[in-house]
Amino acid sequence: QVQLVESGGGLVQAGDSLKLSCAASGRTFSTYAMGWFRQAPGKEREFVAGISKGGIIANYADSVRGRFTISRDNIENTLYLQMNSLKPEDTAIYYCAAADYSGSVHPGDYTLWGQGTLVTVSS
């Protein structure tokens, strides 16, 4: 079973960029579709971006499309989220997650989760 560990969060200013990583242990990383979710204080966890097992197909939430890019390296067993033009409303704990099938935006379809990394964007 894959274990997921996020890193790369921090405090940045509006307009800055940040790149999150999610390191996966185990040899089965490439058999999972992957996603990034986020949860702001007092809000429900929401989908940010997803990527297929081979890394060819990606989908994004409307709120981040054009600013965020999801990618994966199946040799290094790592998932990435490049975040550009950050806004204060992007402030949240960001989680990576693994699913058996790609394309879902629902947290319940993801079976494995990391512990999260905090991103804070100041205005």
pLDDT tens-digit map of 12-24:
999 999 999 999 9
Cα-Cα end-to-end distance for the chain: 40
| Tokens coding 122 | 């100041």
Enumerate residue ranges in the chain where pLDDT < 50.
none
- Please report the pLDDT score of residue 57 as a whole number: 96
- Please report the pLDDT score of residue 1 as a whole number: 74
pLDDT digits (tens, 9 = 90+) for 67-82: 999 999 999 999 999 9
